[in-house]
Amino acid sequence: MPHAVPTPPTASTAMLLSMRGVSKRFSGVVALDTVNLEVGRGEVVGLCGENGAGKSTLMKILGGVYQPDAGEIRIDGQAVNIDKVNNAMRLGIAFIHQELNVLDNLDVAANVYLGREPRGALGLIDRKKIRAIPEAPWARCVHTHSPRPAFHCPTANG
């Protein structure tokens, strides 16, 4: 009986992100023990867990802050080595951290791009390019000025 040969994943069939068997220890303390995470194209994923469960560690590995002790990361089916934050950024990976250390003198778009702003020919920040992204979430957001900035982003329901 003939057996099927698996077809290698393509960009259209592969998970956008696949983290398999990711483990991390700090001074003998297990922070992550063979964790798997898959995210499909267009999917929105919330990562929940108790304090100390390893959520931040997993995201710092994905973002290039920490290196895993074991495991593999794939983007569009291709194995990647994210050993620096800049490498993660080149792959399109960036985070808005849970700490709300936003700069209230900047608008939403500038806070989101903080530290990775697109630049023009002279190396200056290209503010038009930041605001020109039509699918950007801040295109629908209203920033209310207060001691602690708040953002209201309408959903599809209003």
* Euclidean distance between CA atoms 60 and 28, whole angstroms: 18
pLDDT tens for 26-52 read 998 999 999 999 999 888 788 888 888
Which residues on neighbouring strands pair with residue 25, listed in sequence order? 30
For every residue of 7-28, DSSP letters joined together read PPP-TTTS-SEEEEEEEEEETT
Residue 58: how many other CB atoms lie within 10 Å: 22
Does domain 17-90 fall under CATH 3.40.50.620? My reply is no
Q: Mean pLDDT over residues 129-133, rounded? A: 74
pLDDT tens for 47-90 read 888 888 999 999 999 999 999 999 999 999 999 999 998 899 88
What are the structural domain ranges in the chain? 17-90, 108-152
Res 143: pLDDT: 45
